[in-house]
């Protein structure tokens, strides 16, 4: 089965006939690590990275203002 292959950042997108797609993470979005074809991505992310690498609050901490509304209710319509 032939596929058209394109890259979107760290993702490889294969588009097959009938518009079926498969998307594969080819390198880590947080460091320079390139994944081997069958390397478990989850293991690298679990062993090598922390939530802070993705801009999140460290594990076990609650961000101040976490329960504040995302949007203020305006007068509007």
For the chain, the farthest-separated pair of C-alpha atoms sits apart, in whole angstroms, at 56
- How many angstroms separate the CA atoms of 57 and 70, rounded? 17
Instruction: Write the burial class of residue 35 (CB in 10 Å: 0-12 exposed, 13-18 middle, 19+ buried).
Output: middle
Pick 15 or 27: Cβ nearer Zn ion: 27
Instruction: Pick the stretch among 8-16, 17-25, 26-34, 61-69 that binds Zn ion (CB under 5 A).
Output: 26-34
Binds Zn ion (CB under 5 A): choice among 3, 5, 11, 31: 31
Query: Could you give the CA distance from residue 64 to residue 72 in angstroms, rounded to a whole number?
Result: 17
Residue 14 contacts Zn ion per CB under 5 A: no
Interaction of residue 28 with Zn ion, rule CB under 5 A: yes
Of 14 and 33, which CB lies nearer to Zn ion in the complex structure?
33
If one asks whether residue 35 binds Zn ion (CB under 5 A), the answer comes out as no
């Amino acid at each position: 089965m032939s596929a058209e292959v394109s890259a979107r950042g760290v993702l490889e997108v294969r588009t097959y006939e009938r518009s079926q797609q498969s998307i594969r993470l080819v390198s880590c979005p947080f460091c320079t690590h390139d994944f081997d074809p069958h390397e478990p991505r989850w293991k690298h992310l679990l062993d090598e990275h922390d939530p802070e690498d993705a801009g999140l609050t460290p594990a076990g901490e609650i961000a101040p203002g976490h329960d504040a509304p995302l949007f203020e209710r305006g007068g509007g319509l």
